[in-house]
Structures are given as structure tokens and as C-alpha cells.
Chain A
Amino acid sequence: MDLDFTPVLDSGWFLVGGLGLTLALSVLTIVCSLLLGGALGLVRCYGPGWLRWPIVFYIDSMRAVPVLVVLVWTYFALPIVTGFVLPPFWAALVALTAHISAYVAEIVRAGVTSIRPGQTRAALALGMSRWRTIRSIVLPQAVVRMLPAFGSILSIAIKDTAIAAVIAVPEYMNRSQTVAGQSFHPIEVFTVAMAVYFVILFPVTRVVDMVYVRLAHLGRS
């Protein structure tokens, strides 16, 4: 098996452009998912009862359906329903956010409910308002406990952007496919792709682990 990596190098800038889009999509997805998922999780824990079951239904539905299906439906079917066409990047952002925020909501719920009721009672006994209690006592501890799970969300978000290749988002996976198809050297192209993704993903979980180890004591009660 003789490998020829020159086609990869020749298309270097093309691929780097794709990588930039991968990172942009990842970051935006993560930010939006944290916001939406965080909101959903908090409303589920503290909000009015009638909002809970739609949120639970939404979360469970996103757990049941593959990311690929959500991506494809958002890009191809949603325009038919709304009459409004989303370009691939934004369709991917919407779909990925919708999917991942469900997991974030679950993490938030698990983190908040892991704080012993005694903590809340102690805060209320001191005279704090319910909202103040949540903000100053429950959430800080809960957030520390959620860190490892958030780390895996980061990893999942970056990996899922690769699936957006399927709806023609010109991110790194998609561009690798293009180069592979044109150069007839798929092995080299995909080997480089594997190295690139590994180099991005491996540190992400490590850094989160390290941050958690530093902060873990703040979440113990």
C-alpha cells in the first residue's frame, strides 16, 4: 500500500476553510445549546407544572430520534412547512441545537436534583428568597457537578458537526469527501481527517477533566 499525501497538501487551504466552518458551527451550537438547554432544564425544575410535560416530551423525543434525521428534516422538510428556506449552515445550527439542548436540559435537571434539599432549606431558613437560593446556593454547586457531563457535550457537538456534511454544509468532513472524490486518494484524505478530529477532540475532554478536578470540592455538600 503506497500512500500519497500530496493531494491532501494541495487542497490544504480548502480543507482548512472547512475546518474553520467546523469550529464555527461547533462553537455556535454549543453556545446555543447551553442557553436553550439550560433554560429548558431550569424551567423543567422550577417552572409551572403545565410547562413540564411539553418539555419532557421534547427532551424524550430528541433522545429517540437520530441527529441525522433531525438534520435532514430541518434542511429539506422544514422549508416546505414554513415556506422559509434555511441555508445549510443555519439549518445545521438549528437542527444540532435542537438535538443537543435536549441533552443539556437533562444534565441540568440531574445536576440540580442532586443537590440535597437540606441545602435549600438551610438557605431559606437564613431568609433568602427562592430565586436567590437557586442563584447563589443551588446553581453554583450544581454547575460544578455538571462539568464532566458538559465536557462530553462539547465532544458530542464537535462530532455531530461532521454529520452536517450530509446536508452540504462545507465543513471539514464535507470538504474531505470532496477532496477524496476528486483525488482518488480517499485513504490519505480520511487518515488526515481522523488525525485532525482526534487532535481537536482529545484535548477538549482532558481540559474539562482538569478543570473539574480543580473545582470539584466546590460542588461537594
Chain B
Amino acid sequence: MTFDWSVVWRNAGALLQGVELTVLLAVTTMLISIPGGIVLALMRLSHVRALSAASAAFVELFRNLPLILVVYSAYYVMPVATGLNLSPLTTGIVALSLNVSAYNGETFRAGIASIRKGQTEAAYALGMGRWQTMKEIVLPQAVRRVLPVLASTWVSLFKDTSLVSVISVDELAYTSMRIRAQTFRVLEMLTAMAAIYWLLGYPQAKLVDWINRRYGVKE
């Protein structure tokens, strides 16, 4: 059995583009899902029953579905539901965003709830209104609290981008497996794929550990 590891170097360009798309997917999804999560959390904490229930339902739904199923469903349902012909990339971002927003919604809700009641009372005692208090006092503290959890969510998201390969988005996993199919160099390409994810993911995991040590709330 001979191995030809040069296939990896020869396709380095394509692999690098795959990495770029992986990063793009993760960054775009996070940019959508952080505000998305905050909105969902605020809805959940709202006094308006309909908003609170809608948010709870959304979060429960997407936390209890396999992401790969959401990806497939988005791919088939969205063109019919919206009448638009969206690219696999956009579909992938939509699926990922729905999923991560739901997780962030729960994260921010817990973060906001963890801010002591006395803080809101002190703000009210000064004459601040509900929305002002949320904006100036509660949310800034909550964001700091949830930073470690958001970092973990980022690492998970980065890995989950591999799942949009099933709808032919050209990120790292799809690119690697495409090259494998073209060159028949199974072990080399799959190991390279694993190695690249490892090289990207290992430092991120260590960074999350560091953030947890530095910013984690000690009970």
C-alpha cells in the first residue's frame, strides 16, 4: 500500500479556500446569532405572553433537533416557503443561524437572569426606565457574564460548519472529500482534513479554557 501525501500539497490552494469558507460561515453565523440570541432572550423575559411563549418555543425547537436535519430541511423547505432560490451557502448560514441563535437565546436569558435584582432596583431608584435599565445596566453586565459560554458556542459552531458539506457548500469538509473522490487518495485526504481541523480547533479550545479561567464566574 503506497501513500501519496503530495496530493495534499498539490491541492493546498483548494483546501485553503475551504478553510476560508469555513471561517466565513462561522463568522457570519455568529454575527447574526449574537443579536439573534439577545432578541430571543429579551422576548423570553418580556411581560407580553405571546413574545415570551414564541421565544421559548423557538429555543426549545432548535435545541432539540439534530443540526444536520435542520440543514437538509432548510435546503428543501426554504425555496418552497420563500419562493427564493437561495444558494447552498446562504441556506447553510440560515440553518446554522437558527440553531446557534436558539442556543444563544438560552445563554443570554440565563446571563440576564443572573444579574442581581438589586442592580435593577438601584437603577429604578435613580428614576431610570425599564428599557434604559436593560440597556445601560443589565445587558452590559450580562454580556460579560456570558463571554465564556459564547466562546464555547463559537468552537462548537466552527465544528458544526462541517455539516453544511452535505448540501454541497464548498467549505473545508466538502472540499477535502471532493478531492478524495477525484484523486482516490482516501487516507491522505481524510487525514489531512482531520489534521487541518485539529490545527484550527486545538488553539481555539485552549483559548476557551483560558477565557473560562479569566472571566468565568466563580460560584
Chain A positions within 8 Å of B, measured between CB atoms, are: 1, 60-61, 63-70, 72-73, 76-77, 80-81, 155, 158-160, 162-163, 165-166, 173, 176-177, 180, 186-187, 190-191, 193-194, 197-198, 201-202, 205
Contact = CB atoms under 8 A, between A and B. Distances in A.
A81 B1 CA distance: 10
Contacts of B215: none
Interface in B57-98: 60-61, 64-70, 72-73, 76-77, 80-81
A1 B191 CA distance: 44
Contacts of B159: 64-67
Given A65-B194, A66-B162, A190-B72, A197 B80 contact: no
A68 B202 contact: no
A77 B190 contact: yes
Q: For the complex, would chain B's binding face be called helix, strand, loop or mixed by DSSP majority?
A: helix
B76 A190 contact: yes
Contact of A68 (B163, B191, B204): B163
A65 B201 contact: yes
Interface of B: 1, 60-61, 64-70, 72-73, 76-77, 80-81, 155, 159-160, 162-163, 165-166, 173, 177, 186-187, 190-191, 193-194, 197-198, 200-202, 204-206
Contact of B198 (A64, A76, A190): A64
A70 B163 CA distance: 12
Contacts of A159: 65-67
Contacts of A158: 66
Given A60-B205, A69-B197, A162-B66, A191 B73 contact: yes
A95 to B, nearest CB: 11
